[in-house]
A and B are shown apart, each in its own frame.
Chain A
Amino acid sequence: MAIMMPASDQAVLARRAEIVAALRAIVPGEGVIDTPAEMRAYESDGLTAYRQPPMVVVLPETTEQISLILKYCAGQNVKVVPRGSGTSLSGGALPLEDGVLLGLGKFKRIREIDFDNRVVVTEPGVTNLAISQAVAHAGFYYAPDPSSQIACSIGGNVAENSGGVHCLKYGMTTNNVLGCEIVLMSGEILRIGGKGCENAGYDLMGVITGSEGLLGVITEITVRILQKPETARALMVGFAEVEAAGECVARIIGAGIIPGGMEMMDKPAIHAAEAFVHAGYPLDVEALLIIELDGPKIEVDELITRVEAIANGCGSTTCQISTSEAERNLFWAGRKAAFPAVGRISPDYLCMDGTIPRGALPKALARIRELGEKYQLGCANVFHAGDGNLHPLILYDANKPGEIERAEAFGADILRACVEFGGVLTGEHGVGIEKRDLMPEMFSEIDLNQQQRLKCAFDSQGLLNPGKVFPTLHRCAELGRMHVHAGKLAFPDLPRF
């Protein structure tokens, strides 16, 4: 394992039996799991290259139990790792040897559907898709749609600020949540926000969203729901050059059109997907765009015409327009199955997640090609082209000595390139452990210290999900210390009025 986790606390490990007994007193029956065989299911999340059995698993059923567990652990100096469905691709829910794994899987009830205020109040273990299904009869849905939506939990979505294909138009999780109930490491239960558009005071909901389980354990969430668009149609457009596809994306946005989704695949991804699902993708193109327009029929028809004209103007070599739901779904089938499709052509793959400015796409893809040659590894690219979020899938074989290390080095270089081109390390998968040690590529020590000070405001002992997000951990007392800026006693010599 290339990533170092915080050293295990031997004093805690020595008291394991006592800690398990104390947790059993809080969560009776089968809610505490401590046998190696049963804990195996929890030893990794979607980042399966990293595995670590936890000290103990606890599956509480009530907010009060979570409060008691956290209070107990805080008092005993025991680390806690929260976990939703375990679909994180960045290792956000990787257990710690000396930590309690706190599973939210039993929080799977939707508490309230309020159509008048257009919100759903739900427990965190409910899946993303289940929220949409619960309101579908009234024509509503929950907009963010990560590709794992059938399995991933809404609590995990909030922790990771999950995106999805449609977030170009409808926003990420942070743009679609209004409030939560959260339990701090101290055991304190707080309610943040509610059914109104805005919170009072500082936007704590905004900073809790995407905090990767380091600030608190969320036990209830209020999300916005929207009416489903009347209709959706998609174009599937092929290009002989990646540059032309990139230009097409820029011109669509430049024309003031924000599609519901705008995805790009490169040649290796197209071929892998076509071999897997037979969606009718053109195989002689270098780049394929899938562009979906949604809204009232009259609008979609008009925009389809406009987008088609833009694509022609950019030299598209093929252009198909869906005329039925079945055809639209077929266009998407290959894209949606891109990850498993790549899984068929390579024993293993690493999925990266950088974001770049849209305009940097051609040079980013050129760089990835160069890096592939350098590391002697293949790479298939799928790309949320509308918002610049790149998912290179690096192909490797874990059974060949040295390949995983090369794949990880390749991935790290891609993410460095994203930052170099004006982008960021992660668009939607989170930092977790996967990109933790790359954080200094994007942030200075001062930047990271300010983030960690915020962590201290929520969790002064640093017991909640340590080892994730931050490459270097500092004690809160050290972070809070004010540097003395010697010789700076007077206001500087500036124009005064």
Chain B
Amino acid sequence: MDTLKVRDAKDVEEVVRAAIANEQPLEIIGHGSKRGIGHAMATNAVLDLSALNAVTAYEPNELIVTLQAGAPVADVLSLIDAKNQQFAFEPMDTAPLLGTPALGTIGGMIAAGLAGPRRIRAGGARDHLLGAHAVSGFGDSFKTGGKVVKNVTGYDLCKLLAGSWGTLSVMTEVTLKVMPKPEAERTLLLRGLDDAAANKAMTAALGSPFDVSGAAHLPYQAVRAGTDGLGDLAGQSEALTVLRLEGITASAAHRANSLRELLAPFGAATLIDDAASAALWATIRDVLPFAAGGALGARPVWRIVCPPASGAALGTRLAQETGGDVIYDWGGGLIWAALPPKDDAHEPAVRMRANAVGGHATLIRAAEDVRRNVDVFHPQASGVAALSERVRASFDPKAVLNRGRLSRGAVA
């Protein structure tokens, strides 16, 4: 199989045009760090964007950075960190979960759209992608959006590109919003709550005026699993419910105290600060309790999004039914489930539970033979599925871009 390493947007156009003419679908990659997510693709060639890796412009005072799609995420994070800025949606690093090298490009980060704990407050990748240049499946370069935050000029195609897994267009350059890093962070820890009580505590915290920027719950099984990044917190084999407050130092400390009082009915909360807090949230963001190199590394992992207040009931039942482990983020609105190995990765149980509350589930980690048996992405109601397919075809009528990644046998 050919791997075509493009040097500029013109190369991308030419490769896509040749793919159309030859009816040879392309796999689109940056570093290839997330190739294991989705279905095996029916492609004949790989379009490699990793050489398209320049920082086009970084304007800290405008709160924007414009990057070529192949720019390494790690380099970009260091660049903006030096100006005390960050991507507020806290993109997850999938490497530990998938057991892949610590790589990844900006294009992959946006195309996967996997936001971290701050999703509940700051939004997701889709909320931070201001503009993009891309090559459609017509072989044409187009742009959408712009370089300013406030923009309603034309359809917001950025929203579609974020989270499209490379199936609509090949992004070549993107403009992203950056935000100042908070001066301080404080995390409250509640111990020993069962899932239902933890969900109630998180709901109370998120319904408070204290501007909570992270709300997660690690049941005791997850804490016991000998996890990296939990440090001393893992020693006690007790469930951990954690709530994060960020901002200027005086404010974060003040709100932490107010929240502690509000949550007194759930137990006496302890507090961790800055570096320790940041390490804990990186653990949650990257789902380290389920890391490929850890005790549960052989299990398939589902990512379930649901109404936050439904989280505990869904997660508890799913864990009981399957003998699996779960972790809650987003105040209960995101459940990571590592279920015992099985041919179908317990798909019927996962779908049934998710559908019952209006949620959806993605099989983020599973062996290729399992992914052949199971829909990785959540099947949608027929009308929405048909509309989504028309939307896909409006960008890529010949399905030359990542053909087959999103659904089994959808496109021959």
Contacts and interface: CB of A to CB of B under 8 A. Distances in A.
Q: Do A and B bind each other?
A: yes
Interface of A: 114-119, 139, 160-161, 163, 167-168, 171-172, 174-175, 184, 188-192, 194-207, 209-211, 227-230, 250, 253-258, 295-296, 298-299, 302-303, 355-359, 384, 387-389, 422-431, 435, 439, 442-444, 446-448, 450-451, 453-458, 469, 480, 482-485, 488-492, 494-497
A428 B152 contact: yes
B186 interface: no
B383 A450 contact: no
Given A357-B148, A451-B155, A198 B209 contact: no
B152 A430 contact: yes
Nearest to B362: A200
A205 B123 CA distance: 14
Q: How large, as a class, is the contact surface on chain B?
A: 35 or more
Contacts of A484: 21
Nearest to A303: B248
Interface in B166-223: 168, 179-181, 183, 203, 206-211
B150 A456 contact: no
A258 to B, nearest CB: 7
Contacts of A435: 153
Contacts of B394: 450, 453-454, 456-457, 480
B143 A443 contact: yes
B100 interface: no
A428 B148 CA distance: 12
B21 A485 contact: yes
A387 B258 CA distance: 32
A355 B151 contact: yes
The secondary structure that dominates the A interface is: loop
A101 to B, nearest CB: 23
Interface stretch (B57-65, B282-290, B316-324, B338-346): B57-65
B227 to A, nearest CB: 24
Given A302-B248, A422-B147, A490-B18, A431 B154 contact: yes
Interface stretch (B3-11, B72-80, B228-236): B3-11
B247 A299 contact: yes
B247 A457 contact: no
A160 B360 contact: no
Nearest to A167: B150
Contacts of A139: 209
A250 B61 CA distance: 6
Contact of A387 (B148, B203, B207, B393): B148
Given A115-B207, A492-B15, A494-B5, A206 B387 contact: no
Contact of B142 (A230, A444, A497): A444
Contacts of A387: 148-150
A200 B2 CA distance: 32
A357 B63 CA distance: 10
27 contacts: A117-B308, A161-B152, A175-B127, A197-B120, A197-B124, A198-B124, A203-B160, A207-B155, A254-B60, A255-B180, A295-B251, A296-B254, A357-B59, A357-B148, A422-B148, A424-B153, A442-B146, A443-B154, A446-B140, A446-B141, A450-B394, A454-B391, A454-B394, A457-B394, A458-B387, A482-B397, A489-B22
B207 A357 contact: no
Given A196-B359, A209-B156, A295-B211, A201 B150 contact: no
Nearest to B252: A299
Contacts of A439: 153-154
B387 A184 contact: yes
A491 B2 contact: yes
Given A190-B383, A494-B4, A228 B358 contact: no
B381 interface: yes
B138 interface: yes
Nearest to B26: A491
B81 interface: no
Interface string B1-40: 0111111000100110111111000000000000000000
Nearest to A140: B207
Contacts of A482: 20, 138, 397-398
Interface in B34-54: 45, 48, 51
